[in-house]
A and B are shown apart, each in its own frame.
Chain A
Amino acid sequence: MPFIPHTSDDIKTMLDAIGVEKIADLFDEIPKELLIEGLTHVPSQMNEMQVSRFIKDKSRVDHSLKCFAGGGAYEHHIPAAIWQLATRGEFYTAYTPYQAEVSQGSLQVIYEFQSMMAKLTGMEVSNASMYDGASALAEAALMAVRANRKSKSKVILVPRTVNPVYRQVLHNIVHNQNIKVVDVDFDSTTGTVTLDNLAQYNDQDITALVIPQPNHFGVFEDVDALTNWAHDKNTFAIAVVNPTSLALLKAPGQWGNDGVDICVGEGQPLGVPLSSGGPYFGFMTTRQKFIRNMPGRIVGQTTDLDDKPGYTLAFQAREQHIRRAKATSNICTNQGLMVTGATIYMALLGETGLKQVATACMQNCTYLKQKLQEAGIKVLFNSPNFHELVIQTEKKPQEIINDLAKVGIIAGVDLSGFYPELGNVMSICVTETKTQADMDDFVANIVSL
């Protein structure tokens, strides 16, 4: 039974009224080459019993292995209170509510979230969240093209040290909009982008430079030098950051002489479970002067007629229900439920707790690096790490990953396909969730292969 209440007669009446023969004709304006004929990877149908069995089998994989994989999604301890509170009926929706102002509690959560993200990133304003870190980067590129009125080139420089998946998503979203995404190479000794790598662009009109921190190799970029390089030539600086690391690092709002223009990142490390890849949420913060170019929703604080504090959606005039095709973005909703979890996570841990988590990550990573090196395993790059490092191996990374899976360990992320010039490389991540015994066991297993 189709879940559409219209009868064939209803549909025919409506099509006749507008002079169209069949529903497919309504989509004629979409170029044929963009249409996909059939979704070969999606099974045609499953019944309820089959679906619940399929999902149960998938979910069994979660939590059953010791996870040393990072690559953009990070395992952290999530205090039980967070999802106990976030899944209360009052919060249990992924959307900013319709008739938003009726839901003062939801709006206040978003307002607190924005305040926390602005503080954490050292920026002036935050939106109510984006879909994930990768799409947030793409939105930041689109925003830079709108907001950087001193640049006409629509060229975005993206170091190869930015997560390769983010770079693919960025390309997919912006390449049809006359925006050129250009890869920038990295220094093979440090594993970071240096001013030498950027030198060929010194005299070119560049709209924005993306600066990852820590980068995809887990090491720290010289963010001050990169931000200043960008600003000296009227190029926007876009930070892509891990929020946990900001508890210890200099906030992007303070990078270089004047701080970055836009800061984005993946919010999952802030209390959102790995869940085999999602749902997660992205965040975006910027300067007050660019607020009209920022996509997404913004909640503001105000006072009502009785002078009591109240919360309201702000800057709606640039959103799609008013600006239509000229809206800053088609993001009209946000990852409200994930944001609720993250807000409670940040509130519960506080500045001190977040620092403890970040410190434990760094200490564990330092310990693991030392143990790996002592065991004769080659750790690439001579830069300090946050909670991730890259090793170079004789065996193919995928074989190592397969072998360690047999002893209950997710060994890491295979990077060899993304960086063929580095040979057999994989990244390994260690957060506060691992003990020294876990790490010793990991090293012993990898050595025994």
Chain B
Amino acid sequence: MSYVPDNFKYVESHEWIEVLDNGNVRIGITEHAQNALGDIVFVELPEEDTYAIGDECGVVESVKTASDIYTPLTGTVVAVNDALEDAPELINENPYDDGWIFEMSIDDANELKDLMTAEEYRNSIEDEE
């Protein structure tokens, strides 16, 4: 079973969401997702722009496929993990930490309530693993 940290939130498209102290959120893809993709060779990072829930904002490319990254919340991208440009493998090695992809300032904190808990996400990927 892939590791799913308890203190993060999740969406069906396999992004994790960490609420930071300043109210912004940090977003990446789950260990389950990086496992399914295989060796990641390239990350197209989001632009610092405004997005709605479910917008495509970037691409994670592995040797097998290229998969879109979706914004799980409405808001503005305020930071991206530039380290991934030269070291996309950070997502494979450490998806919840060094492998973070972008940070957003969110428009409506209520949207956080609709995200999956770690328990719910674990159940949702159970069948796939």
Contacts and interface: CB of A to CB of B under 8 A. Distances in A.
Contacts of A326: 66, 68
Interface in B45-94: 47, 61-66, 68
A interface: dominant SS: helix
Nearest to B37: A317
A417 B16 CA distance: 60
A292 B68 contact: no
B44 A292 contact: yes
B47 A317 contact: no
Contacts of B68: 326
A318 B62 CA distance: 10
Given A317-B61, A322-B65, A292 B47 contact: no
B8 interface: no
B126 to A, nearest CB: 27
B65 A292 contact: no
Nearest to A318: B66
Contacts of A322: 64-66
B121 interface: no
Interface residues of B, number: 11
Nearest to A328: B66
A323 B68 CA distance: 10
A318 B65 CA distance: 8
Q: Count chain B CB atoms within 10 A of each CB in A317, A318, A322, A326 and give the residue with the most.
A: A317
B44 A317 contact: no
- Count class of interface residues, chain A: under 10
Contacts of B66: 317-318, 322-323, 326
A149 interface: yes
A96 B80 CA distance: 38
A317 B62 CA distance: 7
A324 B66 CA distance: 10
Interface string A140-159: 00000000010000000000
A152 to B, nearest CB: 10
A74 B42 CA distance: 41
A162 B111 CA distance: 52
A326 B65 CA distance: 12
Contacts of B64: 317, 322
A317 B42 CA distance: 10
A149 B80 CA distance: 16
A323 B63 CA distance: 13
Interface in A74-105: none
Contact of A149 (B41, B42, B47, B62): B47
Given A149-B47, A317-B64, A326-B68, 13 more contacts: A292-B44, A317-B41, A317-B61, A317-B63, A317-B66, A318-B61, A318-B66, A322-B64, A322-B65, A322-B66, A323-B65, A323-B66, A326-B66
Interface of B: 41-42, 44, 47, 61-66, 68
Interface of A: 149, 292, 317-318, 322-323, 326
Q: Which 7 A-B pairs have the closest CB atoms?
A: A317-B66, A317-B61, A322-B65, A317-B65, A323-B66, A318-B66, A149-B47
